[in-house]
Amino acid sequence: MFMFNRCNNWMYAFYVDYGFLGLQVLAAISSYFLLKLLWVQRRYGLPPGPNGLPILGNLHCLGKNLHQDLCKLSKKYGPIMYLRIGYVPTVVVSSPAAAEKFLKTHDHVFANRPYHQGSWYLCYHQRNLTFSKDNLYWRNMRQICSSNLFSNRRVASFESMRREEVRLMIESLKRAASNGVSVDLSSEIRSLSANMSCLMIFGKKYLDKDFEDRRFGDVIREALHISGHPNFGDYFPLLRIFDIQRLTRRFKEIAKNYDDLIEKIIVDHLDHSQEHQETKEDFVDILMDSMESEEFEFEFDRRHLKAVLLDMLTASMDSTTATIEWTISELLRHPGIMWKLQKEIEQRVGMDRFVEESDLEGLTYLDMVMKESMRLHPASALTLPHVSTEDCIVDGHHIEKNTQLLANIWAIGRDPSVWPDPESFLPERFTGTNVDLLGNDFKLIPFGSGRRSCPGLELAVTVVRFIVAQLVHCFDWELSDNIEPSDLDMSESFGTVTSRAKPLEVIPTYRLHN
Ligand code: HEM
């Protein structure tokens, strides 16, 4: 009451001094600030979403497993949801139909990437493919990578390297099997994947003496870890100068270390270029050839080369590791499915030799197992952030320029309106369907879809199918510590790659005749 009277008196005095127009202006200004204060900031036509707090926006609704929290919110606010993460207006899509509208119908508007502090420092001012803006450079570099690095011919050219590396892992597991000891399968798969990626990209193993002495493994591990770390600087631009998480300093240090190492690798390649052509070409050779040989209408120099090489490494290592780990975990939890898959491979390969990549063609049950595993456990639970280049209307909602878009791949794979019994692992659900992994059917998009979809899909699918087939064919598996299959902990650890929160500890038994 007291407030009301004071307020009325104050308004009366203002009316006497400035008249009715002044009162109207005052009312307009106060309403503006009041609306801002209450965060009823939502312009008419924006998608529904939770109200946010001043400054933080909706950060308080989000925990460490962002994909799960966004999925829960989407159950309340719908498959096209608007929220603000710090200062970043964000639209999250969580159903196949919604994803199709943004990643297909309006793909051209959402093909851009936002500023990303990690990529800014580590990847030569976002000169990588992953976080490059939608510009002439990105379009051409994608084309160069697709035709030179990820073509079927190129993927096949690394087959013997993959065979050799997988055999080394099988040998190591076989030794553990003969001693009857438990192994950390997560770590075995991680090393294998790191070695394969490094051999393909740089022509050296992850732990080569050369690399090890020069702390290459550490630099890559740190780059991977820190680039996936949630960074307030990406959501509160004003905080960047204070560097409260001390990330900027780390970014700069890692960038410097990476630059020293990659320069050495490039110089090595230049010194041995003749030798390399006679042996196997790696990604450094291929991209250097492209850089030197062609007259481009866009900038393509050493900074772009070094940024794209780091990109390839970070994009490939953890994503393939996580996918293999999740698949083996699901097979361990479902011994009947494991048995059925072993029988399919046995029928094709027998028990006297290892699986070859050429055997994979026609292993239809393996295909179904992989799809089902990537439906429930997409390595990228959310797409990387896209950003709109102009205002647009999607499904009747007004989306402003510079709005961030995240597609919740994890939620789409568990959407009960398109997947009956979505939480169960049932590879047979794919029998007789033509749902593939290519991003044509928005029910299943572990590699994204549209212009920003994963260019490494063919390579990734080849690698994960080959390794899963080999592990399943060569060994029977048992969980360590007498854990029952149904009790296996399947907790997730969200990041750029969403992997198992706990390593997979298992006891292998070798099952081939020789
Ligand atoms: C199972 C393994 C993999 C999965 C699940 C996966 C998934 C994805 C996803 C979801 C995206 C983001 C799509 C978007 O933002 O809309 C992406 C982007 C990308 N991936 Fe993969 N990926 C895998 C392996 C690889 C491999 C092996 C490479 C290369 C060696 C690679 C290179 C890239 C690159 C360069 C981009 C950025 C593309 C761009 O922005 O233009 N990925 N991937």
Does 460 contact ligand 1 (Cβ within 6 A)? yes
18 pLDDT higher than 80: no
Does 462 contact ligand 1 (Cβ within 6 A)? no
So what's the pLDDT on residue 1? 33
Does 388 contact ligand 1 (Cβ within 6 A)? no
Ligand 1 atom showing the smallest separation from residue 384 Cα:
15
For 407, list phi and psi in degrees, rounded to 5. -100, 125
Q: What crossing angle do the helices spanning 247-271 and 302-333 adopt, rounded to 10°?
A: 110
Instruction: Give the whole-angstrom CA distance, residue 452 versus residue 146.
Output: 12
Answer yes or no: are the C-beta atoms of 140 and 298 closer than 8 Å.
yes
Alpha-helical runs (H) found in 406-497: 409-413, 457-474
Ligand 1 atom showing the smallest separation from residue 378 Cα:
5
So what's the pLDDT on residue 306? 96
So what's the pLDDT on residue 283? 94
Q: Which residues are CB-contacts of 184 (< 8 A; sequence separation ≥ 6)?
A: 503, 504, 505
So what's the pLDDT on residue 101? 98
209 pLDDT higher than 80: no
Does 325 contact ligand 1 (Cβ within 6 A)? no
Does an H or E element contain 493, and which? strand 492-493
Distance 278 CA to ligand 1 centre (A): 30
So what's the pLDDT on residue 28? 52
Ligand 1 atom showing the smallest separation from residue 132 Cα:
40
Pocket-testing residue among 109, 447, 496, ligand 1, by greatest number of atoms within 8 A of Cβ: 447
138 pLDDT higher than 60: yes
Distance 22 CA to ligand 1 centre (A): 57
For 393, list phi and psi in degrees, rounded to 5. -110, 120
So what's the pLDDT on residue 277? 58
Q: Which two tokens stand for residue 181?
A: 């000891």
Does 452 contact ligand 1 (Cβ within 6 A)? yes
Instruction: Give the whole-angstrom CA distance, residue 153 versus residue 512.
Output: 31
So what's the pLDDT on residue 83? 96
Of 406, 379, 381, the residue nearest 314 (C-alpha): 379
Residue 40 confidence class, pLDDT cut points 50, 70, 90:
very low
Does 454 show up as a binding residue in the annotation? Answer: yes
Distance 187 CA to ligand 1 centre (A): 22
Distance 309 CA to ligand 1 centre (A): 14
Residue 24 confidence class, pLDDT cut points 50, 70, 90:
low
Q: Which two tokens stand for residue 155?
A: 């993927």
Answer yes or no: are the C-beta atoms of 268 and 202 closer than 8 Å.
no
- Amino acid identity of residue 37, one-letter, is L
- Amino acid identity of residue 172, one-letter, is S
Ligand 1 atom showing the smallest separation from residue 461 Cα:
1
Distance 437 CA to ligand 1 centre (A): 13
pLDDT tens track for 232-286: 899 998 888 888 889 999 999 999 999 998 998 899 898 877 665 555 689 999 9
Ligand 1 atom showing the smallest separation from residue 311 Cα:
35
Q: Which of 2-16, 21-35, 470-484 has the lowest mean pLDDT?
A: 2-16
Answer yes or no: are the C-beta atoms of 448 and 103 closer than 8 Å.
yes
Distance 61 CA to ligand 1 centre (A): 28
How far from 8 is each of 14, 18, 20, 29, 137, CA to CA, in Å? 10, 15, 14, 17, 61
For 84, list phi and psi in degrees, rounded to 5. -120, 120
Ligand 1 atom showing the smallest separation from residue 113 Cα:
40
Instruction: Give the whole-angstrom CA distance, residue 292 versus residue 276.
Output: 16
The residue-averaged pLDDT of 294-322 equals 91
15 pLDDT higher than 70: no
Does an H or E element contain 276, and which? helix 273-278
Distance 455 CA to ligand 1 centre (A): 6
5 pLDDT higher than 50: no
- The per-residue pLDDT of the chain, averaged, comes to 89
Task: Give the CB-side neighbour count of residue 71, counting CA atoms within 13 A.
Answer: 15
Q: Which residues are CB-contacts of 18 (< 8 A; sequence separation ≥ 6)?
A: 26
Does 319 contact ligand 1 (Cβ within 6 A)? yes
Does 320 contact ligand 1 (Cβ within 6 A)? yes
35 pLDDT higher than 70: no
Answer yes or no: are the C-beta atoms of 128 and 113 closer than 8 Å.
no
Does 380 contact ligand 1 (Cβ within 6 A)? yes
Does 312 contact ligand 1 (Cβ within 6 A)? yes
pLDDT tens track for 327-378: 999 999 999 999 999 999 999 999 999 999 999 999 999 999 999 999 999 9
Distance 452 CA to ligand 1 centre (A): 9
Terminal-to-terminal C-alpha distance of the chain:
90
**What is the three-class DSSP state of 59?**
helix
Does 373 contact ligand 1 (Cβ within 6 A)? no
Residue with tokens 């295909």: 367
Q: Is the pTM of this model over 0.80?
A: yes
| Ligand 1, atom 40, residue with closest C-alpha | 130
19 pLDDT higher than 60: no
Answer yes or no: are the C-beta atoms of 93 and 80 closer than 8 Å.
yes
Residue 205 confidence class, pLDDT cut points 50, 70, 90:
confident
So what's the pLDDT on residue 160? 96
383 pLDDT higher than 50: yes
Residue with tokens 């001012």: 125
Burial of 179 per CB tally in 10 Å (0-12, 13-18, 19+):
exposed
Of 156, 132, 94, the residue nearest 298 (C-alpha): 132
Distance 288 CA to ligand 1 centre (A): 22
Alpha-helical runs (H) found in 93-231: 96-100, 117-122, 136-148, 152-157, 159-179, 185-202, 209-213, 216-227
Beta-bridge partners for 478: 507
Instruction: Give the whole-angstrom CA distance, residue 109 versus residue 111.
Output: 6
Residue 9 confidence class, pLDDT cut points 50, 70, 90:
very low
Instruction: Give the whole-angstrom CA distance, residue 185 versus residue 328.
Output: 9
Does 449 contact ligand 1 (Cβ within 6 A)? no
Q: Which of 63-67, 214-218, 290-294, 449-453 has the lowest mean pLDDT?
A: 214-218
Ligand 1 atom showing the smallest separation from residue 374 Cα:
5
Instruction: Give the whole-angstrom CA distance, residue 311 versus residue 145.
Output: 12
| Ligand 1, atom 9, residue with closest C-alpha | 447
Instruction: Give the whole-angstrom CA distance, residue 253 versus residue 225.
Output: 14
